[in-house]
Copies of this chain bind each other. A is one copy, B any other.
Amino acid sequence: MAFTARIETALRASLDEALAGPVPPLLAAALEYAVFPGGARVRPSLLLAVAAACGDDAPALADAAACAVELLHCASLAHDDLPCFDDADLRRGLPSVHRQFGVPTALLAGDALIVLAFETIAKAGAERPLRLPALLGAVARGVGAPAGIVAGQAWEQEPTPSLQAYHSAKTGALFMASTMAGAIAAGADPGPWRALGDRLGAAYQVADDLLDAMASEEESGKSAGRDVALSRPSAARELGLQGAADRLDALVAEAAASVPACPGAKALREIVRMQAARLVPKQLARNAA
């Protein structure tokens, strides 16, 4: 099955578990809305690509891990869009979760998705319990304190965050968790896969800064210009548009070069380059052409 189909199937199965039983109707609707239809499913695709490169000998566990990182990503979007953070009206071209269901339900949906992520991995791990501690640990480090997504969001509350610590936690950490979890799910050593996630995560954050600085809301499907409005650290503001675009190119090249020698290395490098091409804001691509 193609990665996309595996991811959507795993997400559907996981959501169905969460919605089985006497779940409050508004919460159920918000959970569904926060996860479907999704965005590009970048992180779970990356996770499955690494698992495939490592032999993917336990595909159900890789699917569960992929599902978990996407659920955690969806949770972070639902929380980050809240009025106390980005106060964003739009996400993926639709009203953000709290605009659709209210702040309390959006907050609870995020909480429930975090729990569901770990529950999903635990359930699939019954077949390969020896891999569970490392797998859960890698995923948890991508989202929690001291250096996961939550810490990244928390750096926005600090008067003088460093761009590096902020970006690394806010975006890099879950990319790194994705590549490392892909390896662990397939029984491989995660260490050699750390750099790929780190570089791709950094590239993705630079691209996001560029998009926020340049793109229309129509193109990005979310509220634009928030970095400046909220005085957030931004590569586009720190390096200028061209400087940030150069940095993006360099990071993608580093990511491709970091793929360790393995049977699936060539295919994975191709995936990295294809994903990277999607990152460049259209307006910048036009300007460069």
Contact = CB atoms under 8 A, between A and B. Distances in A.
Interface in A255-277: none
Copies in the complex: 2
Nearest to A115: B144
Contact of A155 (B24, B122, B125, B133): B24
Given A18-B145, A118-B118, A119-B144, A25 B125 contact: no
A36 interface: no
A112 B154 CA distance: 10
B133 A130 contact: no
Given A22-B146, A103-B84, A155-B24, A133 B125 contact: yes
Chain A interface size, as a band, is 35 or more
B130 A129 contact: yes
Contacts of A26: 154, 157-158
Interface stretch (A49-57, A135-143, A208-216, A233-241): A135-143
Contact of A154 (B21, B27, B129, B147): B27
A60 interface: no
A225 interface: no
A153 B108 contact: yes
Contact of A147 (B23, B110, B123): B23
